[in-house]
Structure 1
Amino acid sequence: MFKNTNRSRVQRLNVKWASKAPAFVQAVNQSSSPLRDIYQFGVYTGGSMRSIKHQIPIFHHMWGFDSFQGLPAEAGGLKIAGKHWLPGAFSSSDELGSTVEKTVASVSEYVGDPDRVSFIAGFFNESLPKLNLSLFRPALLVDFDVDLYISTLDSMTWMVENKLIQAGTYVRYDDWKGDPAWGQTKADDEVTKRFKIVWDTTNAPFEGRHGKGALRRVVSVGGIAA
């Protein structure tokens, strides 16, 4: 399936998911339900999805969203972390030396549990509007590992507009700079204000693979609480 070098890289990422935030994993498990879904935006080669599945085993279905072709272009005028975040970066198809279709099949095989785990390929602004919403249930956990403002904004807006992020949903950001002028923080700030989301506490920081991350739980959306 994966080359040996790629397999070892995936396994290293597998170990790292939320490893420095055991209280967060425990809290999600305490709220876990076979009636709620898990969502990950930014799958790459599937290591963190596999880890989530093992650390949070009780859920209805897990969904992985990725272009499998790398990052899109960031919104105009916004900062990026470096040249490694340019369009096409983090392409799992390039990493595995395969087509998108074969890459999705390989990642699916690696993550396992195909009856409960599915993948949606495509850039979010193109793939999300086409989806059959009846397939999806409210989120137990949403893992945003998409690096950019534009990707976070597209995916988070879709989740909230379609009532998939609700009171009780846990949210994890992997690239949280703590600066509302750019990146995931900017997207979160805009969506929070637009949909009147109330979070349970201030951001719980952790060390992500690219710097600071944040862990949050939704108290209410638009005035609707649990």
Structure 2
Amino acid sequence: MEGEASRNRRRALQVLMADLKDQTDCTGRDLYTFGVYTGASIKFWLDRFASLKVATGQMWGFDSFEGLPEEAPGVALEGDEWKPGGFSAADQFGVYTFGEVRRRIEDFLGPSHAAKTRLVKGFFLDVLTQSLVNERRMQPALLIDIDVDLYLSAVQCLDWCFAQGIIVPGTVVRC
């Protein structure tokens, strides 16, 4: 059975492909995933673009890889799994260094997708800086997948993307 996240990703891909029409060279536009966890969302997008023969820029994956941060004050959590530290990729893999987590994700992605992917480790509040786009030579987004579990995290991602000019006309944002 297909999950809700996969259905929503497929819808976003349909919208994007309709906008692109027959354009297949999108190397001047990057892909952004906020909330990498174990890499399934990154693999989904890179597999689909490869199967459609659409060339893109880099895939940027943002995550703490240590689990969730604190939620915004006054926002109720749905359950204990959304407390700080929940949804940790390190716990999921049973490893406890970022190097080991990165290797697991890269192994899952496979060599060609791993070569195209740049992981940015840290809580969004700490790593989504004004200088990050220039430091990493990030390009405007073709697609942004915001697969985060907290309201505060979604706001931080969207604020940064707009402030840094990552979202431009034609960018598809999936939340």
Task: Judge same fold: TM > 0.5, yes or no.
Answer: yes
Q: Which runs of 5+ in 2 are unaligned?
A: none
What do residues 137-168 of structure 1 show as CA deviations (whole Å, max 9, x unaligned)? 11111111111111111111111100001111
Counterparts of 1:150-165 in structure 2, within 5 Å, are 150-165=152-167
Distance change in 2, residues 1:71/1:166 (3 Å): same
TM-score for both structures, normalised by structure 2:
0.82
Question: Which of 1 and 2 has higher RCO (CA within 8 Å, sep 6+)?
Answer: 2
Cα gap change, 1:106 to 1:121, in 2 (>3 Å): same
In the aligned structure 2, how far is the partner of 1:104 from the partner of 1:56?
A: 22
What residue in structure 2 maps to residue 70 of structure 1?
A: 67
Q: What is the deviation of 1:20?
A: 5.8
The structure 1 residue matched to 2:76, chosen from 72, 79, 93, is: 79
Return the letter of the residue paired with 1:114.
A
More strand by share: 1
In the alignment, what sits opposite 1:48? 41
Question: For structure 1, which segment, 101-110 or 91-100, has the greater mean C-alpha deviation from structure 2 after superposition?
Answer: 101-110
Over the residues paired in the alignment, what is the CA RMSD in angstroms?
2.2
- Aligned counterparts, 1:1-226, within 5 A: 17-19=5-7, 22-30=10-18, 31=20, 33-57=26-50, 58=54, 59-98=56-95, 99-112=97-110, 113-129=113-129, 132-134=132-134, 135-173=137-175
When residues 106 and 130 of structure 1 are mapped into structure 2, their CA distance, relative to the original with a 3 A threshold, is farther
Distance 1:39 1:85 in 2: 23
Distance across 2 between alignment mates of 1:73 and 1:153: 13
Match for 1:127: what amino acid? V
The structure where helix makes up a greater share of residues is 2
Q: 1:90 and 1:82 mapped to 2: Cα distance?
A: 12
Relative to structure 1, the CA distance from residue 20 to residue 139 in structure 2 (aligned partners, 3 Å threshold; closer, same or farther) is closer
Distance 1:152 1:131 in 2: 20
* Secondary structure, counterpart of 2:115 in structure 1: coil
TM-score, normalized by length of structure 1?
Answer: 0.65
Shift in Å, 1:79 = 1.6
1:28-73 residue CA offsets vs partner (Å, 9 max, x unmatched): 2342622111100000000121011111233111110000000000
Secondary structure of the residue aligned to 1:167 is coil
Cα distance in 1, alignment partners of residues 174 and 124 from structure 2 = 18
Matched-pair contact (CA < 8 Å) for 1:17–1:52: no
Identity %: 34
Distance 2:34 2:123 in 1: 10
Aligned residues: 161
Cα drift, residue 171 of structure 1: 0.8
